[in-house]
Amino acid sequence: MPHIEMRKFSDAAAVIRTVREDAGWSQAGLAEELGFSRDYMIDLESGRPNTFIGRLLRVFHTLGITVTLTYADRQKVTNEPS
Protein backbone atom coordinates (compact mmCIF):
# COMPACT_ATOMS: atom_id res chain seq x y z
CA MET A 1 0.00 0.00 0.00
CA PRO A 2 1.35 3.43 -0.89
CA HIS A 3 1.80 5.89 1.95
CA ILE A 4 2.90 9.48 2.35
CA GLU A 5 3.92 11.50 5.37
CA MET A 6 1.52 14.41 5.72
CA ARG A 7 3.54 17.53 6.42
CA LYS A 8 0.94 20.00 5.21
CA PHE A 9 -2.69 19.82 4.17
CA SER A 10 -1.82 19.88 0.48
CA ASP A 11 -0.22 16.44 0.96
CA ALA A 12 -3.60 15.07 2.04
CA ALA A 13 -5.33 16.96 -0.76
CA ALA A 14 -3.16 15.23 -3.37
CA VAL A 15 -4.00 11.80 -1.93
CA ILE A 16 -7.73 12.61 -1.79
CA ARG A 17 -7.75 13.73 -5.43
CA THR A 18 -5.66 10.77 -6.67
CA VAL A 19 -7.66 8.11 -4.86
CA ARG A 20 -11.00 9.71 -5.84
CA GLU A 21 -9.99 9.80 -9.51
CA ASP A 22 -8.60 6.25 -9.43
CA ALA A 23 -11.85 5.05 -7.87
CA GLY A 24 -13.86 6.63 -10.67
CA TRP A 25 -15.63 9.20 -8.50
CA SER A 26 -16.41 12.66 -9.78
CA GLN A 27 -16.06 15.50 -7.30
CA ALA A 28 -19.83 16.01 -7.42
CA GLY A 29 -20.58 12.30 -6.95
CA LEU A 30 -18.28 11.87 -3.96
CA ALA A 31 -19.51 15.11 -2.42
CA GLU A 32 -23.10 13.92 -2.73
CA GLU A 33 -22.25 10.52 -1.22
CA LEU A 34 -20.58 12.25 1.75
CA GLY A 35 -23.21 14.96 2.19
CA PHE A 36 -20.77 17.75 1.23
CA SER A 37 -21.06 20.45 -1.39
CA ARG A 38 -18.95 20.16 -4.53
CA ASP A 39 -17.34 23.47 -3.56
CA TYR A 40 -16.13 21.87 -0.32
CA MET A 41 -14.58 18.99 -2.29
CA ILE A 42 -12.86 21.53 -4.55
CA ASP A 43 -11.44 23.27 -1.48
CA LEU A 44 -10.24 19.95 -0.03
CA GLU A 45 -8.52 18.93 -3.24
CA SER A 46 -6.99 22.39 -3.63
CA GLY A 47 -5.22 21.98 -0.31
CA ARG A 48 -7.00 24.86 1.38
CA PRO A 49 -7.40 23.78 4.99
CA ASN A 50 -10.20 25.15 7.08
CA THR A 51 -9.36 26.78 10.41
CA PHE A 52 -9.74 23.54 12.38
CA ILE A 53 -7.47 21.51 10.12
CA GLY A 54 -4.87 24.26 9.96
CA ARG A 55 -4.71 24.53 13.72
CA LEU A 56 -4.68 20.77 14.18
CA LEU A 57 -1.68 20.46 11.87
CA ARG A 58 0.11 23.23 13.79
CA VAL A 59 -0.47 21.33 17.05
CA PHE A 60 0.87 18.12 15.48
CA HIS A 61 3.95 19.91 14.17
CA THR A 62 4.67 21.64 17.48
CA LEU A 63 4.35 18.37 19.42
CA GLY A 64 6.38 16.36 16.93
CA ILE A 65 3.42 14.21 15.87
CA THR A 66 3.77 12.61 12.43
CA VAL A 67 0.71 11.78 10.36
CA THR A 68 1.09 9.15 7.64
CA LEU A 69 -1.60 8.57 5.03
CA THR A 70 -1.88 5.01 3.74
CA TYR A 71 -4.23 4.16 0.91
CA ALA A 72 -5.17 1.20 -1.25
CA ASP A 73 -3.20 0.38 -4.36
CA ARG A 74 -4.67 2.20 -7.32
CA GLN A 75 -5.61 -1.02 -9.09
CA LYS A 76 -7.63 -2.22 -6.08
CA VAL A 77 -9.71 0.92 -5.48
CA THR A 78 -13.26 0.67 -6.78
CA ASN A 79 -16.22 3.01 -6.91
CA GLU A 80 -18.36 1.14 -4.40
CA PRO A 81 -20.26 3.55 -2.15
CA SER A 82 -20.59 2.46 1.45
For the stretch 32-59, pLDDT in tens is 999 999 999 999 999 887 888 889 989 9
* φ, ψ (nearest 5 deg) of residue 47: 80, 20
CATH superfamily, domain at 3-72: lambda repressor-like DNA-binding domains (1.10.260.40)
Q: For residues 55 and 50, what is the distance between their CA atoms, to the nearest angstrom?
A: 9
* 77 pLDDT higher than 80: no
pLDDT band at 75 (very low <50, low <70, confident <90, very high): low
* φ, ψ (nearest 5 deg) of residue 67: -115, 125
72 bridge partner residues: none
* 15 pLDDT higher than 70: yes
- pLDDT > 90: what percent of the chain? 41
* 8 pLDDT higher than 50: yes
Q: Domain residues of the chain, as ranges? A: 3-72
